Amino acid sequence: MKIVLGSDHAGFELKEDLRAYLSALEIDALDLGAHGQEACDYPDVAGKVAETVAGGGAERGLLICGTGIGMSIAANRFAGIRAALCHDPFTARLSRE
């Protein structure tokens, strides 16, 4: 499975932890930013992730930001994308069912 990752500056550290975790599981993870803790525009990152998933470049995308709300809204603007704000494995599983 290929997963694409994206975050804003507030979610950078968590994204880096997730990238390392996925690598340890030998899951291919494409990192589309942020690439540091400098301020960035989350809609741009969410758009790159959404376009990659919608275009078939990855099976799933993970978006991380300060609250998760902005990333979800931005990603859901793309055809074929259904982004959900998840806080735990239970809500993540329900978002896929």
Active site residues: 65
- For residue 21, report the phi and psi dihedrals to the nearest 5 degrees: -65, -45
Q: Could you give phi then psi for residue 48, rounded to 5 degrees? A: -60, -45
Q: Are 4 and 30 a contacting pair, CB within 8 Å?
A: yes
